[in-house]
Amino acid sequence: LRMAAVTGLGADEEHLQTLHNMWETHRFLPALYEIGLFYDKRGESVTAMEYFKIGAEEGNADCQHEFGMSLLSSGEGVPLDAEGARGVVLLEHAAKQGHLEAEYQLAKLTYTGYGETPGDEAKAYRMFLSISESGSRFAIMAKYEVAMACFHGIGTQLDPERAVPLFDEFCHRYMERYPDSDEVLEAAYCLGWAYSTGRGVQQSWEQAVKYWEKGATRDLEMCHALAKAYSRGTGVAQNHAKAHEMWQLAARSEHSPSCVELGYAALEGRGTPKDETMAIDWWRKALEMNDEKADYVFGRAIAEGRFSDDTIDKHFGGKDEAMHEAARLLKNAAARGHVQDIEWHLTLIAEHLNKAPLIGHRVMLHGLKKADLNGKTGTVVSYDPARDPPRYAVDLHDDEPPRLLKAEVRITIAITLTGFVA
Percent of the residues in the chain that have a pLDDT greater than 70, as a whole number: 86
Measured in residues, the chain has a length of 422
State the Cα angle at 219 between 213 and 224, rounded to 5°: 70
Residue 405, phi then psi, degrees to nearest 5:
-125, 140
Q: Where are the alpha helices (DSSP H) in 205-341?
A: 205-215, 220-232, 240-251, 256-268, 276-288, 294-303, 309-316, 319-335
Would you say 299 and 329 are in contact if contact means Cβ atoms under 8 Å apart?
A: yes
Q: Give the residue among 400, 386, 392 at the shortest CA–CA distance from 422.
A: 392
Residue 3 has pLDDT above 50, yes or no: no
Burial 382-405 (b: 16+ CB within 10 A, else e): bbbbbbeebbbbbeeeeeeeebeb
Would you say 385 and 373 are in contact if contact means Cβ atoms under 8 Å apart?
A: no
Count of beta carbons in the 10 Å neighbourhood of residue 230: 23
Distance between CA atoms of 236 and 319, rounded to whole angstroms? 41
Q: What value does the mean pLDDT take over residues 205-217?
A: 92
Q: What value does the mean pLDDT take over residues 76-84?
A: 57
Would you say 124 and 155 are in contact if contact means Cβ atoms under 8 Å apart?
A: yes
The pLDDT assigned to 408 comes to 43
Distance between CA atoms of 69 and 314, rounded to whole angstroms? 59
Q: What value does the mean pLDDT take over residues 147-159?
A: 96
The pLDDT assigned to 422 comes to 30
Least confidently predicted of 210-219, 385-394, 406-415: 406-415
Distance between CA atoms of 270 and 258, rounded to whole angstroms? 14
State the Cα angle at 261 between 256 and 267, rounded to 5°: 130
The pLDDT assigned to 387 comes to 65
Residue 356 has pLDDT above 80, yes or no: no
Q: Give the residue among 167, 154, 159 at the shortest CA–CA distance from 111.
A: 154
Contacts of 264 (CB under 8 A, 6+ apart): 270, 279, 297
Q: What value does the mean pLDDT take over residues 171-182?
A: 89
pLDDT band of 385, cuts 50, 70, 90: low
Return the half-sphere exposure (C-beta side, CA atoms, 13 A cut-off) of residue 284: 10
pLDDT band of 180, cuts 50, 70, 90: confident
DSSP code, position 257: H
